[in-house]
Chains A and B, each alone.
Chain A
Amino acid sequence: MDNFIKVLIAKPGLDGHDRGAKVIARGLKEAGMEVVYTGLRQTPEQIVRSAIQEDVDVIGLSILSGAHSYLFPEIMNRLKKADHSDVAVIAGGIIPEDDHKKLKELGIKAIFQPGTPISKIVDFIENEVQK
């Protein structure tokens, strides 16, 4: 009956930049979504377990440290192993264009650069969840 969209916003690795993640978390809440924010320094194991227990529709990874090429494959592998690949994974932060193709091949649905208006992210999530 009620259909709420639930999103996990996670910051993988040792990256301490949390402004973007907080901006996104608040923005999605204001758009009517239920947002689980897990705070800084999450391991891939923590992120995947939180996503399973919370049964989120979307995982949003925020990363500005440059470690995405190492952390994202780890997260996607763990999701697959846990039989939880049906969740949509998106990302944002400082992620150079050159890396986008590889990350999308891993199954990351979209990557949002600095300056992206929140409405664009909201639209993307709503579309993705309706599929």
Chain B
Amino acid sequence: MEDNIDQLYADIQRGNENTIAKAISMVEDGTKDAVKLMKKVYRNIEPAYLVGISGPPGSGKSTITQSIVQLWRKENIKVAIIAIDPTSHFSGGALLGDRIRMDKISTDRGVFIRSMATRGSLGGLNSSIYDTVLIFSLAGYEYIIIETVGVGQNEIDIVKLADTTIFVTVPEAGDEIQAYKAGLMEAGDIFVVNKADRPKSEQMVLTIEQLVSFRGDKEIWKPPVLATNALQDEGITDIKKSINDHHIYLEEKDLLQKNRREVIRAQMINLMEKKLNEKFISPILKDQKFFKHIELICKKKEDPYSVVNELLSL
């Protein structure tokens, strides 16, 4: 058994695509072998530089990702992309369509694209995302991009994994942008107003610059606000340069390690929640008694506070 894991580890390290892909599926499905593999990976591997790209659907995240990757590829840098789309709460299925805009890099041997659904329906971060980052790191990818649709808390949690977070919006976003202020706006290290070929993009750049300036003055990194036209590859070199600048900034201020400790902390909480859920909550939910309690609470014979204490033997 251990030999199998060592073999798997070595094949990933050698960059075998079939094996990398299978290992990610194992992690997603939470198999026993995946746990064995990840134990070894965590003890040996430093994560590659992680870039998060987030923003509303259709803002151009996949198109921009492709353009940045093309620039890195000119320097022969290997890149992996994790393209995440939401799982439907109704069916549990997902439509993963980011590859449509990554056509130009899909046969490049130095690029690995993996689409993933959020899955984690109970809230909280899907821990397989960071495990996938580590698998790609083991395989020798130097940059890893995670694309997520910027809407909910789930996505903000994903974005927090990244060393550099890019937030993409479009000129028409208008007042919507105010709504993002609370969450993603605060997590952003680089802001991009894409589709600058359309009217009002300068106005949007100004609006965001203003919003960003409200951040506490302790903030030393001044997030750049960049206008791009991803269809024409305009402004993409600016994004690449800003990623580089932010990387240097993190290194100089010793913030890279700090961010990574935060990530491990989140990953730990996540794992604990998962275990508690598996061990204590799931069995209760499956027990007929649970439904009887619900009935009794509705009939005013019991109350949720007492029942929860009783069920969890607190």
A binds B: yes
> How far, in Å, is A13 (CB) from chain B's closest CB?
14
Report if A98 contacts B (CB, 8 A): no
A3 contact set on B, CB distance < 8 A? 29
In the assembled complex, 27 residue pairs joining A and B whose CB atoms fall closer than 8 Å, in A order, are: A2-B28, A2-B30, A4-B92, A4-B119, A26-B95, A29-B91, A29-B93, A30-B93, A32-B91, A35-B93, A36-B115, A37-B95, A37-B97, A38-B99, A38-B100, A38-B106, A39-B97, A46-B103, A46-B107, A49-B17, A52-B18, A52-B21, A53-B112, A53-B114, A54-B21, A54-B115, A55-B22
Report if B149 contacts A (CB, 8 A): no
Main secondary structure of the interface of B (DSSP, over half): mixed
In order of increasing CB-CB distance, the 8 nearest A-B pairs are A39-B100, A29-B93, A55-B21, A32-B92, A55-B25, A32-B93, A36-B96, A38-B99
> How far, in Å, is A38 (CB) from chain B's closest CB?
5
Q: How many residues of B contact A (CB 8 A)?
A: 32
Closest to B94 in A: A34
B106 contacts A50, CB within 8 Å?
A: yes
> How far, in Å, is B29 (CB) from chain A's closest CB?
6
Report if B7 contacts A (CB, 8 A): no
Cα–Cα distance between A35 and B19 once the two chains are bound (Å): 21
Report if A126 contacts B (CB, 8 A): no
A39 contacts B107, CB within 8 Å?
A: no
Report if A118 contacts B (CB, 8 A): no
Cα–Cα distance between A44 and B31 once the two chains are bound (Å): 32
Closest to A41 in B: B103
The contact of B93 among A28, A45, A53, by CB within 8 Å, is A28
